[in-house]
Amino acid sequence: MNIIVTGGAGFIGSNFIFYEMKNHPEDRIICLDSLTYAGNLSTLKPVLDKPNFRFVKESITDREAVERLFEEEKPDIVVNFAAESHVDRSIVNPDIFLETNIHGTTILMDACRKYGIRRFHQVSTDEVYGDLPLDRPDLFFHEDTPLHTSSPYSSSKASADLFVLAYHRTFGLPVTISRCSNNYGPYQFPEKLIPLMFINALNDKPLPVYGEGKNVRDWLYVEDHCRAIDLIMRKGRDGEVYNVGGHNEMHNIDIVKLICDALGKPYSLITHVEDRKGHDRRYAIDPTKIHNELGWLPETKFADGIRMTIDWYKTHENWWKPIISGEYQNYYQKMYGNR
């Protein structure tokens, strides 16, 4: 099969490409990524020269470029990871979130309709459900929990989900949607909680915890998410939404302390800063449906996953240092120009 993976130079998309190429070497992967600040071609170095891999630097918002690619590759499956993914950035500049996350998704689906497709899979998020109160541990997000977004980011993702379901109902497009909780693992951009705290702690810099740090996130190792997407896109039912999560809820402050402990750094680095505007309190996913229908369960215990992640960041300074310094942007222009 020909599989177009959009956003494959980012965190989850690159891990997904590695997962697919290892577990389905018979398939051909075409990565479509515009290489925004969050995309990093060096991440894909191990697969760039493989015969069943192609990298295309284009935007999902460029209709002509998308159609050209569909014409050339006649994809069987399209998996859409491409997005502006950071909540804080969406608070500063919502516009690009509408453009990429909503319009980019409809442009991809229009191409799917035009050229025919076996499956369009939309990678969505638990943030579309809004948040849960901290004092109701009995509550979880189910697939039929009403969408109730808080940030421009989650609103753009929820809008995209509604368009995906509308394209299914109105045009009969074969679609699936996964809504996953917070991922962690290798290649996560250092603006996100875990890599940011790791890098700051390593450098004895303040660790900026929003508010009291009592907000709760439900953490899942990225490879478990990739395996879930693989199952859904191949075996999930058309028009269905699947929640993905590991029943692994943690307060932010405990994650930050755990990183301090792992690096032998003092908690005095922790600095409570102004809270994120509209900050969601608790995310908690009920993954019963994907378990019952597709047999999916998370395989990586948090203790193991976080150790592997911290080890990875310790041993891959060559990946994150250039990003921090901005050196990567210069390098990319020099090496690849407009590739």
Within 53-72, the residues that bind ligand NAD by CB under 6 A are 59-61
Helix (H, G, I), strand (E, B) or coil at 220: strand
Q: Does the footprint of ligand NAD cover residue 309 (CB under 6 A)? A: no
Task: State the nearest-atom distance from the C-beta of 97 to ligand NAD, in Å.
Answer: 10
Q: Which does 34 bind (CB under 5 to 8 A by kind): ligand DAU, ligand NAD, none?
A: ligand NAD
Asked about 58 being catalytic, the answer comes back as: no
Cα–Cα distances (Å) from 188 to 33, 71, 93, 255, 319, in that order, read 16, 32, 21, 16, 10
Binding segment for ligand NAD (CB under 6 A), chosen from 3-11, 270-278, 291-299, 303-311, is: 3-11
Q: Which of 33, 73, 126, 218 is catalytic?
A: 126
Task: Check: CB of residue 24 under 8 Å from CB of residue 99.
Answer: no
* Element of type H or E holding 217: strand 216-218
**Pattern 52-91, binding to ligand DAU, x per CB under 6 A?**
---------------------------------xxx----
Q: Does the footprint of ligand NAD cover residue 123 (CB under 6 A)? A: yes
Question: Which of 34, 106, 145, 243 forms a contact with ligand NAD (CB under 6 A)?
Answer: 34
| Range list of H helices, the chain | 11-23, 45-48, 63-73, 87-92, 95-97, 104-115, 152-171, 193-202, 222-235, 252-263, 288-294, 302-315, 317-325, 327-336
Task: State the nearest-atom distance from the C-beta of 266 to ligand NAD, in Å.
Answer: 28
Q: Does the footprint of ligand NAD cover residue 150 (CB under 6 A)? A: no
Helix (H, G, I), strand (E, B) or coil at 327: helix
Q: Which does 123 bind (CB under 5 to 8 A by kind): ligand NAD, ligand DAU, none?
A: ligand NAD
Instruction: Tell me the DSSP string of 66-85.
Output: HHHHHHHH--SEEEE--S--
Q: Does the footprint of ligand DAU cover residue 192 (CB under 6 A)? A: yes
* Residues belonging to the active site: 126-127, 153
